[in-house]
């Protein structure tokens, strides 16, 4: 499973490149682990962050691939957010 997380972190690094994301956010993926994103990029980690976005692996993959809008996932209950909503919105615009 860590290979999946490492691959997802690499994809997130591509999306974050040059985006100027200056906060910390954590994707907590059910039954897999977590990825933390900050100004230096994305990495597999479970450290504290300004906001934690929680979803199952399928929802996370759909968001990452662009098939599911993060805001739509939140509104439909597939994605939960704990922490700074402003940071979550900033991250959603980077991933869109």
pLDDT confidence of residue 96: 72
Diameter over CA atoms, the chain:
31
Per-residue confidence at 1, pLDDT binned at 50, 70, 90?
Answer: low
**Least confident span in 2-6, 57-61, 79-83:** 2-6
Alpha carbon distance 42, 33 (integer Å): 13
Cβ(37)–Cβ(91) below 8 Å: yes
User: What percentage of the chain reaches a pLDDT higher than 90?
Assistant: 78
- Which of 43, 95, 87, 36 lies closest to 70, judged by CA? 95
Please, which pLDDT band fits residue 5 given cuts at 50, 70 and 90?
A: very high
């Amino acid at each position: 499973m860590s290979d999946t997380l490492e691959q997802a972190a690499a994809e997130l690094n591509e999306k974050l490149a040059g985006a100027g994301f200056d906060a910390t956010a954590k994707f907590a993926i059910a039954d897999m682990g977590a990825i933390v994103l900050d100004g230096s990029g994305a990495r597999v980690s479970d450290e504290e962050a300004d906001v934690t976005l929680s979803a199952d692996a399928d929802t996370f993959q759909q968001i990452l691939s662009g098939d599911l809008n993060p805001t739509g996932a939140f509104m439909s209950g597939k994605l939960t957010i704990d922490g700074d909503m402003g940071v979550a919105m900033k991250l959603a615009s980077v991933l869109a």
